[in-house]
Structure 1
Amino acid sequence: MKNIYILAGTLLLSIGGLQAQNKDTKEADKLYDRLEYVDAAKAYTKLVEKNKADGYVYKQLADSYYNVFNTQQAVVWYAKAVESTQEAETHFRYAQMLKAEGDTKSAAQQMATFAKMQPIDARAKAFRNNPEYTNQLKSQAKQYEVLKSDVSSDKTDFGPVLTQNNEVFFTSARNTSRKENGMDDQPYLDLYKAIRNTDGTLSQATAVTELNTKWHDGPATITSDGTTMYYGSESFNESEYQKNKEKHLKFGQIYLYKATKIEGDKWGNSKALPFNSKDYSVRNPSISKDGKTLYFSSDMPGGFGGEDIWKVSVDGDTYGTPENAGANINTEGNESFPSIQDDGILFFSSNGKQGFGGYDVFKQNTNAKEQAATNLGAPVNTEKDDFSFSYNLEKNVGYFSSNREGNDDIYQAIAVCGVDATVVVKDAETGKLLSGASVTFVDQKGKNKGNQESNDNGEAKFGVACDEIASFNATRAGYQNGTASMPKSKNGAQSIVITLTPIQPIITETEVILQPIYFEYDQSNITAQGAEELDKLVKVMNQYPTMVIDAKSHTDSRGSDSYNLRLSDRRAKSTVQYIVSKGISKERITGSGMGETQPKVVCTACIEEQHAQNRRSEFLIIKK
């Protein structure tokens, strides 16, 4: 959601206790700078043994193990390093290694330190926003299955509502040809429409050009007969605003408008509603099934504080006096994005009621006015902002918006029976729990019902309808695909295990062929998945004790020649260091970066697939 955050105060950090390079560390530092992490670790260890170690040495020793993904040793030496003052990044790396070792409690403590030292870092923000659930929210049954909608863009998207004609109207800042607004440096908002297909996907969105203006437009609500729309736009359309002569500024408000279908899919006859005011905003409309009550949010006088939910009676073009929705809904905080369901359940978002964090979605039965609003729970609500929830009972599907991934995106919600399926992905040979596996839920008709990535415990969770036979497919780099099924079941929880068999290396006369070795963008340290694949090479070299390998790292053609050459050389040396750290003699493996000099696919205007083929590691057999 769009908010203005003001960070006040000063953070003072003393690093007087942090040691640095000196004559004793010169040799070890030279090895480290050359990316020879195994030998660097040995050199730093000698300083420890000679009682010449300080915080700098412990940190460098830990980083050496970090860069070759030796988590056990990294944890040992990071623990020593943080006994003295360290940079924030050291605490972050320590947390990563602790997490990899399964010590999530200690990892959280290190992340707390990191967050305190680097409060504006995105990783710190993500940690601080981890949910602190109350016991009630923890035990609340899942009400909806959630899936990110394919209509989302890399810009702000929110306010989705599904009509009886299978049209989804929403508001978006995706039109990059539009002028950027000063609040978030994104383009001004426009109204868009997508069509919901029979398989549940949404068509490519198109702008509602006949209603969009040069200002912010949307969100909207449509009457059940599909002929009338209420939507938001700015008071500047009516040349109404407040002036600040001293600052030479004009302040507008959000107004509500009514439009009608005029021909085909076109809208026209747009009129501003009579209770608009240049003194406050009225926005985020939702019309009842009978078309006689319009809900909206406003900061108009007479509320509980901040923005409140209001309603007004509608009779054609005649409107009653707006009424506040009351204390069961509104608080001293902000309540917004009302959506009235056909059965009288009102959904809205609030940051004033107790929830997971940020804005949460709540519901209240308007037919039982004294009934308190309740939190929709996870997975609709997260520690981030979750808002603009609407549900079409006839079609049994809803949509809402959330910035849980750092951007205001649109998500689909489907009510579930309460069967929670937990798919656990394991290595078929070692039994190791596999994170980062792509798990797909397929129903008994073969329809894709969702995809998730397994977490650090190898788990992916899905909501399955009662009495539904569910199949699950799992894929992961370096492994053969795996499947498993779950029989029909009622409310409760089910656990399904999928074992994945590692893909074995192919050994030719000239090369050991592995699955792709992935590195993070612009980085050369070995990742968890890269380590898994390189372990296969270690196994091969142990089987062939005289084998000598030359590891070559290649990049695609993007970036300068010199940059690509340096990056590939660092990655090749990290690869060599990892292999050596696993007990292979350094005389048996060499490495070099080739940059973009030896493309596998020669192309000028390369497509992404060709770039991917050129971005590779090769393990050439010098001696077998």
Structure 2
Amino acid sequence: MKIKTSIILLSFLFVATLCSAQKGNKNSVADNFEHYAYMGNESTYEELSEKGMSDEEICKNLGNAAYLKAKYDEASYWYAKLLELNSKTIEADYMYRYAQSLKSIKNYKDSNLWMKKFKKAKKNDVRALNYDMDESYIDDLMIASSEYTIENLASVNSKESDFAPSFYNEFLVFSTGRDLETTSRSSTSYLNLYKTTRPEKGAYSTATAFPEELKSVANESSTTFSKDGNTMYFTRNNYKKRSFNRDKNGISRLKIYKSTFKDGKWGNIEDLPFNSELYSVAHPTLNKESTKLYFSSDMPGTLGASDIFMVDIHADGSYGIPQNLGSKINTESKETFPFISDSDVLYFASDGRPGLGGLDIFSIDLKNQGKVKNLGNPINSPNDDFSLIFDEETSSGFFASNRTGGVGSDDIYALKTIDCMVSITGNAVDKDSEKTLPFATINARNTSGGNVGEAQTDAQGNYTIEIPCQESQYSIVANLDGYEEGSLFMITTPDEKNIKNARVVLEESSKVAVIGADLVKVLKLAPIYFDLNSSYLRNDAFENLDKVVAYMKKRPEVKVEIGSHTDSREEDGYNLWLSDRRAKRTVAYIISNGIASSRITGKGYGETELINKCANGVICSDRDHQLNRRSEFILID
């Protein structure tokens, strides 16, 4: 996550992060630097060096600070330098974080290499045991699932962080940093609760504060509601006497609070008995009967940075003893943002299991003792994906992600299950050579820009992509390094289930029409030269002129002005006349090959635009004079 609000005040759970220092380490500022990653401005190498930290401590601190803020490229840099110092003595957890960072920036090859080293170093670690040595798991997860479609709630999200959605009657309640309120301890805004209507169809309402009576100079997040809508659990900083309550290190732990709805207002706020000043408890979710509360915590007995726990809620309103859900679900890293569905399917976020990078969303059927499942693409991405909720009655849900292409740092996305699919097969081809293009990324995008399908062309440049039947108008979009994006607009009817020969054309970036460019350079043609005192096209010109014709036929929007030139020999007026004839003969050839006269013009420049020193009176070789007897093909409006 890239939460830019007053998450800097938290110890870990609003951002699903926690210090994963090894047990037994001394409680020093350096060892607990991760706790302080959100407590102020970022430190620099020079600042930490001036404090007397060693290179190892500095690399750990800067790497951890970047990792916790989802700056995985930066984190991978510092972790690489750390492991270069002496990978044999560095804690194995840094190998894992380095592997995770590399995966998030799509360096899968090196990520797998370091995961293998991590597994060798910590054979009994749950993360190592879960790691699949078959490196194809990334490819399997990247294949777009035919089960879901996702769409960014652009009308609801802000430029700040929006996350942790929850269901409340007809509303969607979520946490946001859009208010941009700050405290004396931080210049970064803190989090408030907002709501928007959850329509079956149509637009969402304008998001408004929810509820005003719970708004405080603290962070509120991660709500869950009883079925009757009269009981709410939510997360807030340890908050007393209208201010943060901090420990000796300045950390305000997280707590779960309970509130009840009475006389039209939320009140009677209770601090749950298993909260603590020594650890954090956050991200509550109620089961259907409101008899069990699931949450995240780093309380004693936690396997890693944060684990998923469950506590019984008794009929008299009292609570049982929190129970860790164990290593079947939890790992030595972060498990957080749980959600329990009506049928007892547990959804949660983790960076301790094989995934696409950052936090991935997983599920497990608790009632039937199922296995943990990575939900894969398109729900998961190489970035952080978390706080998923799912309504089994409508087969729809919401989650948050900081993936690219969003409105803000963290955005809320809607997901829907798919009833039926349309299968589309086709290929991606080069606009000029018409050769197929292997390994191009193919996306299907609906009219609002949402991604409804994803695939990749194979080694022969072919692809198959599936999109939901309800999408009647969409575009097949292809991307490949070195090429401009290509797209194909599609309209299909409900009875069309298999569409073939969907051909997407891509143009090399270097060949994109730029006004003022010379096609001789764009197409890498041999120069179009003329003999001395001649306006006739030479035999060696026709092959290259035919390439200009082919380029213009493939790009009906392109217009060209032919500029013809002479050397400096002969009289100036004669040279203007001669160059004009050269331009006209070149234009005539192109028109004769099927290009409309409205798209091609010619002009003679005589000797006014020499490309070397061979002006009047200057002695030059025939070769140097030849360089000036040329035609150019300039792209014009």
- Category of TM-score, reference length = shorter chain: 0.5 to 0.7
Structure 1 residues 116 and 291: alpha-carbon distance in aligned structure 2, compared to 1, 3 A threshold: closer
Q: Relative to structure 2, which stretch is displaced further, 448-457 or 347-356? A: 448-457
Mapped pair 1:146 → 2:150: yes
Contact 2:425 2:463 in 1 (8 A): yes
Equivalent position of 1:135 in the other structure: 136
- Distance across 1 between alignment mates of 2:272 and 2:604: 76
Equivalent position of 2:163 in the other structure: 158
Higher relative contact order (CA 8 A, sep 6+): 2
- Distance across 2 between alignment mates of 1:347 and 1:167: 21
- 1:237 CA drift (Å): 3.2
Contact 2:105 2:382 in 1 (8 A): no
- Distance across 2 between alignment mates of 1:240 and 1:277: 14
After TM superposition, the structure 1 = structure 2 runs for residues 542-581 of structure 1, keeping only pairs within 5 Å, are 543=591, 546-548=601-603
Equivalent position of 2:374 in the other structure: 375
> What residue identity is the alignment partner of 1:311?
M
Equivalent position of 1:198 in the other structure: 200
**Structure 2 counterpart SS, 1:377:** coil
> What residue identity is the alignment partner of 2:255?
Y
- 1:410 CA drift (Å): 1.2
> What residue identity is the alignment partner of 1:126?
I
Per-residue deviation, residues 133-181 of structure 1 (Å, max 9, x unmatched): 8435644672322222222222111111233x22111111111244497
> What residue identity is the alignment partner of 2:297?
S
Per-residue deviation, residues 494-543 of structure 1 (Å, max 9, x unmatched): 656267999xxxxxxxxxxx999799xxxxx99xxxx9979812499754
Equivalent position of 1:358 in the other structure: 358
Per-residue deviation, residues 453-506 of structure 1 (Å, max 9, x unmatched): 9989798955425xx68443569999998434266588xx8656267999xxxx
- Distance across 2 between alignment mates of 1:453 and 1:584: 51
- CA RMSD in angstroms comes to 5.1
- Distance across 1 between alignment mates of 2:263 and 2:320: 29
After TM superposition, the structure 1 = structure 2 runs for residues 182-221 of structure 1, keeping only pairs within 5 Å, are 186-199=188-201, 201-208=203-210, 209-221=212-224
- Distance across 1 between alignment mates of 2:372 and 2:228: 29
**Structure 1 counterpart SS, 2:105:** helix
Mapped pair 1:230 → 2:238: no
Equivalent position of 1:325 in the other structure: 325
- 1:411 CA drift (Å): 1.2
- Distance across 2 between alignment mates of 1:408 and 1:269: 31
- Distance across 1 between alignment mates of 2:251 and 2:312: 29
Equivalent position of 2:256 in the other structure: 256
Contact 1:548 1:589 in 2 (8 A): no
- Distance across 2 between alignment mates of 1:548 and 1:587: 10
TM-score w.r.t. length of structure 2 = 0.54
**Structure 2 counterpart SS, 1:218:** strand
Mapped pair 1:172 → 2:176: yes
Contact 2:515 2:636 in 1 (8 A): no
TM-score w.r.t. length of structure 1 = 0.55
- Distance across 2 between alignment mates of 1:223 and 1:518: 66
Per-residue deviation, residues 396-420 of structure 1 (Å, max 9, x unmatched): 2111111121832111111235747
After TM superposition, the structure 1 = structure 2 runs for residues 107-118 of structure 1, keeping only pairs within 5 Å, are none
- Distance across 2 between alignment mates of 1:149 and 1:585: 60
Contact 2:174 2:193 in 1 (8 A): yes
Contact 1:486 1:496 in 2 (8 A): no
Equivalent position of 1:483 in the other structure: 490
> What residue identity is the alignment partner of 2:220?
D
Structure 1 residues 501 and 199: alpha-carbon distance in aligned structure 2, compared to 1, 3 A threshold: farther
Contact 1:178 1:187 in 2 (8 A): yes
Equivalent position of 2:394 in the other structure: 395
Q: Relative to structure 2, which stretch is displaced further, 306-315 or 124-133? A: 124-133
Contact 1:282 1:297 in 2 (8 A): yes
- Distance across 2 between alignment mates of 1:549 and 1:234: 77
Structure 1 residues 361 and 453: alpha-carbon distance in aligned structure 2, compared to 1, 3 A threshold: closer
- Distance across 2 between alignment mates of 1:470 and 1:588: 46
Equivalent position of 2:340 in the other structure: 340
Q: Which has the larger radius of gyration?
A: 2
- Distance across 2 between alignment mates of 1:263 and 1:460: 57
> What residue identity is the alignment partner of 2:279?
Y
Per-residue deviation, residues 230-253 of structure 1 (Å, max 9, x unmatched): 100111336674543xxxx53211
Contact 1:547 1:588 in 2 (8 A): no
- Distance across 2 between alignment mates of 1:193 and 1:372: 34
- Distance across 2 between alignment mates of 1:394 and 1:124: 35
Equivalent position of 2:532 in the other structure: none
> What residue identity is the alignment partner of 1:359?
L
After TM superposition, the structure 1 = structure 2 runs for residues 423-442 of structure 1, keeping only pairs within 5 Å, are 440-441=445-446
Equivalent position of 2:7 in the other structure: none
Equivalent position of 1:385 in the other structure: 384
**Structure 1 counterpart SS, 2:558:** helix
Give structure 1 stretches of 5+ with no counterpart.
11-111, 503-513, 520-524, 551-582, 591-617
> What residue identity is the alignment partner of 2:490?
T
- Distance across 1 between alignment mates of 2:179 and 2:501: 44
> What residue identity is the alignment partner of 2:163?
F
